[in-house]
Amino acid sequence: MVEGQAQLLEKLGICNEISFMRTLLKTGVSQTDRNLHIRDEQFDKVPVRIYEPKHPSGEPRRCLIYIHGGVGMIGTINAYAAVCRLFALKTKSMVVDIGYRLGPEHPHPAQFEDCMSAVTHFLKEAKNYGVDPNRIILVGDSSGGTLVSVVCHHLVTRRDIPRVRAQVLIYPSLQIVDATLPSYQQNSFVPVLVGKRIFHLIVKFSNEEVGDISGFMKNAHVPDYFLVKYRKWISADLIPDEFKVRGYVPIAPAPFSEKLYKAAELGFREDLCPLFATDDIIRQLPETFLLTCEYDPLRDDGLLYKKRLEDNGVPVTWLHLKKGYHGIMYRNDLLPIELKDAKRAMEHMANFIQRY
C-alpha cells in the first residue's frame, strides 16, 4: 500500500517515489540509546555509524559489519538505526553500519565499492577499535545480503587481510535470472514484497524506461543461453517439494526482450550474482547463517544458495520462518512491536553470532 502511494505521488509530480520511501523509512527511528556509544566516522572516505556497548569488555570485542537493504536506493544509516541497536545489544557486539552511496544517483558499482572499501579498511584497522580482527562477522538483509555475499566472495582470495569469520544473510536477494521459481509464483500478491515490485525497483535503479514490466515474470529478460548455462544452480528442480505445495506450475519463457535485458543487465554479471560463483569460490566462504521466509518471493534464492554452500562443504545454520515475510526483521521505534517470529529469528541469529 505504501509503495502504491509513493508511485502515485510520483505520477502526480508531487514527490519522487524513492525520496518518499527514504523519508518514510527513517521516520520514527531513534538515533540514540542509553546503553550504547554511537558515533559517526568515515572508513576510507565511506560514512559509517558505530554502535558500541557501554559495558566494558575484558577482551577484544566481536564486531558485526552491517550492510543494510533497500535495493541500493532506499536504506540509510538513519533508517536502520533501530535494527543496528538491537543487534549490538542482543549480541553484546560492536556494530558498524555502512552508509554506502545510493542509486539511482550513484549507479553501480558505487554500492559495492563503498562496502568493499569500508570492510577492508576495518579488517585492517580493527585492533585500533578494540576489536579482534578474527571475530568480524558480516550481516546483511535483502539487497544488503546480496552485498554481504558479493563482498565475501571477493575477499576469499585476499591474503593481505584477516578473513571474515562468518556471514549472516537475512532473506537475501541472490539472483534475478529466474522469476518463475515457486516462491515468485506463490508470493505474487503477498505484501511486503511482491515479484513485480522487485523488478519495478530494479528498473528504477537502472534508470531505464521499459513500460510494461510483466515480461520479467516470464523471464523475457533472460537470454536463452543464460538459462541453459546456469540451470545446474538456478532451477525449480532444485527446490524441495515441500516448498511447492502452495502452488507451482512450470512456465515457459516468454520471447526475449532486449529492453528488459538492458534494464536488468547488472543481474547477469558473474562477479555480482552470488549464485553464479564457481565452486572454487563457494567452498572458501565462511560459515553462514541463513534466514528465509515463507511469504517472500526471495525465499528460493536462499534455498538455492543453501544448497550451493552445503554441496561445497560450507557449514550453514538455516532458519526458515513458516509465517515470515520479507522485511520482518526491520524495526521502527514508533511501532516498537516485536513479532513472535522476528523475536525468535533474532534469538537464533544472536546464538549463532555469540559462538565467535
| Active site positions, annotated | 142, 296, 326
Query: What is the C-alpha to C-alpha distance for residues 3 and 328, in angstroms, rounded to an integer?
Result: 16
Region of 130 on the Ramachandran plot (φ > 0 left; ψ -120 to 50 alpha; else beta): left
3-state secondary structure of 82: helix
Residues 6+ apart with CB under 8 A from 42: 48
Q: Compute the C-alpha angle 186/191/195, nearest 5°.
A: 50
Cα distances (angstroms) measured from residue 197 to each of 2, 46, 115, 204: 12, 29, 25, 10
State the cell numbers at 153: 566472495
3-state secondary structure of 289: strand
State the cell numbers at 74: 532506499
Query: What is the C-alpha to C-alpha distance for residues 325 and 137, in angstroms, rounded to an integer?
Result: 24
Query: What is the C-alpha to C-alpha distance for residues 170 and 137, in angstroms, rounded to an integer?
Result: 13
Give the residue from 137, 196, 138 showing the smallest Cα distance to 172: 138
Bridge-based pairing state of the strands 94-98 and 46-53: antiparallel
Say if residues 321 and 345 touch (Cβ distance below 8 Å). Answer: yes
Q: Is the dihedral of CA 175, 180, 183, 185 positive or negative?
A: positive
Q: What residue type is assigned to position 26 of the chain?
A: K
Chain length of the chain: 356
H-run or E-run covering 70: none
Cα distances (angstroms) measured from residue 150 to each of 111, 136, 319: 11, 16, 21
Q: Is the dihedral of CA 39, 44, 46, 52 positive or negative?
A: negative
